[in-house]
A and B are shown apart, each in its own frame.
Chain A
């Protein structure tokens, strides 16, 4: 019974290969869309982690000798004797063909797992790694380039960060020709009651695990951006699959009915359809994952370049298609199909054996369904409001986003129906009236495709607005924050003492940047001292401030706090603030500090010197005419013999940051076009299917004297009208989406919000694009109608009862 039933069900596709192709393609594209985004996201994240490790962020606190000097062996021994569980690290640079790698020497016997990337133990005898000649460990792609007679043998190990070579500390010291220790990692689970650091090694300072540079933190935002996109594309994908499956079922409604009449149980029918869907979604999932991989591979070089720029570390720009990724992707394709098809399957299960043979679009038509949709939308909107008011955290934010989008999608048919009814009322002439009425009648069949178009457009507008607002705000902020032309770091007090007068003789101003890490309001915070200088007065990006705030800060009467701290503690200008050592002061102003997860307080330089004498010193901002900056930089290296990595050039830093953003935008733009394409495809599928189902409706009009060409033109117009109406709904939805991303999600994720900027010119472009998508999608069915043999239309009458 099952086999005969399955043959009958599947035979439909053999007779209608185009329908099958569109169904599979629809499923594949939906899978591809979100799997591509997921792949980029996962790959970028993996690369981040590798890169973060490459620059030494072991995720552990570490001990450093003041101002970067080597740590004496005695100090290390003293700490271990006192019970401190620390492990030594030495760092250096190795040259290889085509670049440099960082050599990280760790004590292979005591280093914690995070420092030992990949599986070093593998097939190397410990004695080889530690012994006389030793071994270096590097990622396979590095290992080959690194091999040299001057170095110990290099072992290729998967999982070591690119740009990094690992060795036992003894081996590394031999390679570097210096028996020094650069830092000590503080292992987790230290014994209780060990003596404080100040007793045993007063020269050492403890640093929190490296939290990447300020610019690097912004990449989190990039991820969030992609995650939001992934979510959106997933929803769009579900709609498309839902539509495709619904239509695939609708086309075979007569067959289902006949099979039921011939004695196939409802349960068997549903089982068979589920099997069919499983086969289809497996196939489509595999194709989709392949496509997604291609998308990711095409976009990933941009992402990789972004990361390279960020970390100066080599990130592989290629995609590794891991088996787990494939399996997860296909599983989700199957699950997504199951979710999207559950409604259609349910309807089949309840399909009475006597159902009308005349295919109707899956029952979205009735007024009751519309009321239900409206009610569901209202419920979802309510849920979103409740989440907005009562919820907190990123998950609540995303849930709210999802609820709002679904509500908007469900409301779309109501909005379109209202518009079309309006059109019908305004119409003059029988043909125009028929056009509007007929479009209304078609709405149920096109609803799902139009909903996916709505979501795609809203995603475009929303994410586009977010990204552009981000860029605009960020570039402005960068100009304000990086006001000095050069940033210079002195290695020690001696060097600082020589450097400052040397610089003062050559630059317009030398502004000391002094900081200390403290706890403010119960959490770690950075306290910076700022010089009283127009550089700050004119540029600092204040969000809110008292009048004459800079005078108050210089005089020690007020401080500035960053937005993150202000939001967390609910601070406003004029509020009191307790700083360490019982210093009660006043918040004079709040400034934006994008990308910084930590709280920050700005106080007068003199206050910092007085109150926190063990501040970190040695950093200076140098003001100089931009055109003379490069010369000064050269002079610093050549005449003053500062090493190049002690100087940061503001112009280069800005270029780098903007570069990162340009690349982010490139990725976002590509994804935008992709979502639109997929939505356009959904429209095409629906129109093609409807074209066949609609013949009985068109034939009488044709018989009444309209040419097929004329009918085709009307069909095309219909697609355009519907796309335009959908776009009109997408603008408010997209703006709402942007607002949630900027003011809710971003705040939940990073503690700062972004002002929203709108770009109506972009909308105009998008409107054209969506009309284009709908037009292209409408063209094929229209052409088919125009060239349809009249016999097809006559048949309609022949079969009429």
Chain B
């Protein structure tokens, strides 16, 4: 099992009283499986994603990545996890504005020490960014920027890709194309995908679905692979 989440609890200090965002979330994710996370705005989807990515610390429960508890890791270990095993695609893209497309795509792979120029070139070609490789993020459209972000997440060959509404900033058509691309790349890399989305239509394209409500997993839907 690649990822096991057990009774995860997260509370934010609120203005009057603390906000219990996650009140015991549990689920599993096998290697190479794609999972969609849905839920109302404010239901804690991003929060859950951040915890799994090791970007934030949980208040209770366990996140076992390959059997190792992410919640118990120190900052250094969590940084290493993010660097080597997880690729994150943010809704806001979060590209480094002073690096060009090629350098942005290569960034995480280089941080992880797994950079391969040939693989990058192939990736950039598949992302359709060949003509844009020397451009800077501000010179790109939103869809192009998101493709760069996906490339960056995958170039480091992570075992788990986390995506927080990767198409939320894009129009429907572009969003669908970007998602196709991402699914294709994730499958080819045999990585697992955990994707947050609002859209039921997009969620239906993934193998499994989790619905968050009131801080817990409200529904689980498994789409049995047609073997």
A258 at the interface (CB under 8 A from B): yes
Please report the C-alpha to C-alpha distance between residue A11 and residue B152 in the assembled complex, in whole angstroms: 17
Count residues of A near B (Cβ-Cβ below 8 Å): 31
Please report the C-alpha to C-alpha distance between residue A255 and residue B152 in the assembled complex, in whole angstroms: 14
Cross-chain contact B103 with A266 (CB below 8 angstroms): no
Q: Would you give the shortest CB distance from A355 to chain B, in whole angstroms?
A: 10
B195 at the interface (CB under 8 A from A): no
Q: Would you give the shortest CB distance from A318 to chain B, in whole angstroms?
A: 45
Count residues of B near A (Cβ-Cβ below 8 Å): 33
Please report the C-alpha to C-alpha distance between residue A12 and residue B106 in the assembled complex, in whole angstroms: 16
B-facing residues in A608-625 (Cβ within 8 Å):
none
B-facing residues in A337-377 (Cβ within 8 Å):
352-354, 357
A153 at the interface (CB under 8 A from B): no
Cross-chain contact B111 with A254 (CB below 8 angstroms): no
Query: Are A264 and B96 also in contact (CB < 8 A) when A1-B112, A3-B110, A4-B107 are?
Result: no
Q: Which of B90, B98, B111 has the most CB of A within 10 A?
A: B98
Query: Chain A residues near B50 (CB, 8 Å)?
Result: 354
B61-69, B78-86, B209-217: which one contacts chain A?
A: B78-86
Q: Would you give the shortest CB distance from A280 to chain B, in whole angstroms?
A: 16
Cross-chain contact B99 with A1 (CB below 8 angstroms): no
Query: Chain B residues near A258 (CB, 8 Å)?
Result: 94-96
- Per-residue B-contact encoding for A250-267, CB less than 8 Å = 1, 0 else: 000011011111111111
A765 at the interface (CB under 8 A from B): no
Q: Looking at the complex, which one of B82, B97, B115, B136 makes contact with A255 (CB distance below 8 Å)?
A: B97
Cross-chain contact B111 with A7 (CB below 8 angstroms): no
Query: Are A261 and B88 also in contact (CB < 8 A) when A4-B107, A7-B103, A267-B76 are?
Result: yes
Q: Which of A255, A261, A263, A264 has the most CB of B within 10 A?
A: A263
Q: Looking at the complex, which one of A262, A353, A354 makes contact with B107 (CB distance below 8 Å)?
A: A262
Please report the C-alpha to C-alpha distance between residue A299 and residue B34 in the assembled complex, in whole angstroms: 73
Please report the C-alpha to C-alpha distance between residue A3 and residue B94 in the assembled complex, in whole angstroms: 20
Cross-chain contact B99 with A254 (CB below 8 angstroms): no
B38 at the interface (CB under 8 A from A): no
Cross-chain contact A262 with B111 (CB below 8 angstroms): yes
Please report the C-alpha to C-alpha distance between residue A258 and residue B95 in the assembled complex, in whole angstroms: 7
Query: Chain A residues near B111 (CB, 8 Å)?
Result: 1, 4-5, 259, 262-264
Please report the C-alpha to C-alpha distance between residue A268 and residue B76 in the assembled complex, in whole angstroms: 10
Please report the C-alpha to C-alpha distance between residue A238 and residue B147 in the assembled complex, in whole angstroms: 44
Cross-chain contact B79 with A265 (CB below 8 angstroms): yes
B128 at the interface (CB under 8 A from A): no
B4 at the interface (CB under 8 A from A): no
Q: Which of B81, B90, B96, B106 has the most CB of A within 10 A?
A: B96
- Per-residue B-contact encoding for A529-557, CB less than 8 Å = 1, 0 else: 00000000000000000000000000000
Q: Which of B82, B103, B113 has the most CB of A within 10 A?
A: B82
A8 at the interface (CB under 8 A from B): yes
B167 at the interface (CB under 8 A from A): no
Q: Looking at the complex, which one of B75, B96, B106 makes contact with A11 (CB distance below 8 Å)?
A: B96
Cross-chain contact B98 with A15 (CB below 8 angstroms): yes
Please report the C-alpha to C-alpha distance between residue A3 and residue B110 in the assembled complex, in whole angstroms: 8
B-facing residues in A1-26 (Cβ within 8 Å):
1, 3-5, 7-8, 11-16
B43 at the interface (CB under 8 A from A): no
**Which single residue of chain B is at the shortest CB-CB distance from A795?**
B138
Please report the C-alpha to C-alpha distance between residue A14 and residue B136 in the assembled complex, in whole angstroms: 12
Identify the 10 closest CB pairs spanning chains A and B, nearest first.
A263-B83, A4-B110, A263-B82, A265-B79, A11-B98, A12-B98, A15-B98, A353-B55, A258-B94, A262-B108
**Known pairs A261-B82, A262-B111. 20 more at Cβ < 8 A?**
A4-B111, A8-B96, A8-B98, A11-B98, A11-B99, A259-B96, A261-B53, A261-B90, A262-B83, A262-B88, A263-B84, A264-B83, A264-B111, A265-B75, A265-B80, A266-B75, A266-B79, A353-B82, A354-B55, A354-B56
Q: Which residues of A contact B (CB under 8 A)?
A: 1, 3-5, 7-8, 11-16, 254-255, 257-268, 352-354, 357, 801
